């Protein structure tokens, strides 16, 4: 596994490799049910940062606080990137678009909010591999195509930080690999990319930094190689099995003794 930071530094933007968001001592609770506490992570440009961990450990919640869509109970999310109209792009786990409009019209609408031309929007459709589906109505897109449109939407306006919640879940291996290639390309273009995923193979191949959420916080964090070394194993899957506490066949529900 290589980090791609050295390559990306040659692209010449002044944010290459910089910490664009720092998350400090973050806590989130639904009422008096704590989801996580004391989460501290640095989100850097040119890196794909992957959040992994069992169902219900708070990955989506953490992404929503990063994207400013949920207010943390304690701690801080600080953005240190450039002053731009759109600082953070966000792909929800289940992107949905207003029916009755084509993929191109939909993206053009979002593009118009940040001053992007039709040509720029077309180039975005092309980049995610949706050029042939540009005139197809959004309700006629497959699950994979809807995700691709969602990724194009998340990247519109070139936000320095792009947050993708399980961008490849439920997709075939080819489409999953394609989506992670796009994530890699975004990172190589000086974006700080944050993804959640349950696909350990894709994460191991793509991520520069991994944070494993478990038992109400970040259980382990590091580069894929550092984690393999630390647990003396040869796959991220084995790291996961070694690091996750408790019964791997049960869903974590914080605040309950299920
Ligand atoms: N609106 C809500 N009200 C109360 N609890 C919630 C709400 N949304 C999520 N939760 C709980 O918060 C916890 C974290 O949920 P979250 O969706 O962030 O986990 P996750 O790690 O993304 O899970 P998954 O891997 O299944 O997508 C879970 O226990 C979930 O049941």
Count of CA atoms in the C-beta half-sphere (13 A) of 237: 4
pTM assigned to the model: 0.89
Evaluate: CB of 140 within 6 angstroms of ligand 1.
no
pLDDT for position 255: 56
Q: Is 233 exposed, middle or buried (0-12, 13-18, 19+ CB in 10 A)?
A: middle
Question: Is the CB of 58 within 6 Å of ligand 1?
Answer: yes
Show pLDDT as tens, one digit a residue, over the chain (258 residues).
334 444 433 344 678 889 999 999 999 999 999 999 999 999 999 999 999 999 999 999 999 999 999 999 999 999 999 999 899 999 999 999 999 999 999 999 999 999 999 999 999 999 888 999 999 999 999 988 999 999 999 999 999 999 999 999 878 899 899 999 999 999 999 999 999 999 999 999 999 999 999 989 999 999 999 999 999 999 999 999 999 976 666 666 665 544
CATH of domain 1-82+170-258: 3.40.50.300
Contact (CB, 8 A) for 34 and 27? yes
15: CA distance to ligand 1 center in Å? 33
Please tell me the total number of residues recorded for the chain in this structure.
Answer: 258
Q: From 33, 50, 59, give the residue whose CB has the most ligand 1 atoms within 8 Å, as the site to mutate.
A: 59
Answer yes or no: is the C-beta of 61 below 6 A from any ligand 1 atom: yes
**∠ CA(195), CA(205), CA(219), 5° rounding?**
55
**Whether the predicted interface score ipTM is above 0.95:** yes
Is the minimum distance from the CB of 153 to ligand 1 under 6 angstroms? no
* Ligand 1 mean position, distance from CA 79 (Å): 24
Q: Got the DSSP string for 113-162?
A: HTT--HHHHHHHHHHTT-GGGTTSBGGGS-HHHHHHHHHHHHTTT--SEE
Query: Do 101 and 149 contact (CB within 8 A), yes or no?
Result: no
């Amino acid at each position: 596994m290589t980090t791609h930071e050295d390559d990306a530094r040659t692209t010449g933007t002044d944010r290459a490799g910089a910490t664009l968001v720092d998350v400090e001592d973050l806590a989130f609770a639904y009422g008096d049910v704590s989801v996580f506490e004391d989460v501290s992570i640095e989100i850097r440009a040119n890196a794909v940062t992957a959040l992994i961990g069992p169902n219900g450990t708070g990955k989506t919640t953490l992404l929503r606080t990063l994207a400013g869509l949920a207010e943390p109970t304690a701690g801080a999310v600080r953005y240190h990137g450039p002053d731009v109209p759109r600082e953070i792009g966000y792909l929800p786990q289940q992107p949905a678009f207003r029916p009755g409009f084509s993929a191109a019209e939909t993206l053009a609408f979002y593009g118009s909010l940040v001053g992007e031309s039709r040509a720029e929007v077309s180039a975005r459709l092309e980049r995610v591999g949706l050029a042939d589906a540009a005139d197809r109505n959004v309700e006629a897109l497959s699950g994979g195509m809807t995700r691709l449109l969602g990724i194009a939407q998340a990247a519109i306006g070139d936000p320095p930080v792009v947050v993708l919640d399980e961008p490849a879940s439920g997709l075939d291996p080819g489409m999953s690999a394609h989506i992670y290639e796009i994530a890699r390309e975004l990172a190589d273009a000086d974006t700080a990319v944050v993804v959640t995923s349950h696909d350990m193979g894709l994460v191991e191949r793509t991520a520069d930094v991994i944070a494993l959420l478990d038992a109400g916080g970040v259980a382990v964090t590091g580069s894929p190689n550092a984690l393999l070394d630390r647990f003396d194993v040869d796959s991220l899957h084995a790291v996961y099995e070694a690091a996750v506490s408790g019964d791997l066949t049960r869903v974590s529900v914080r605040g309950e003794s299920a």
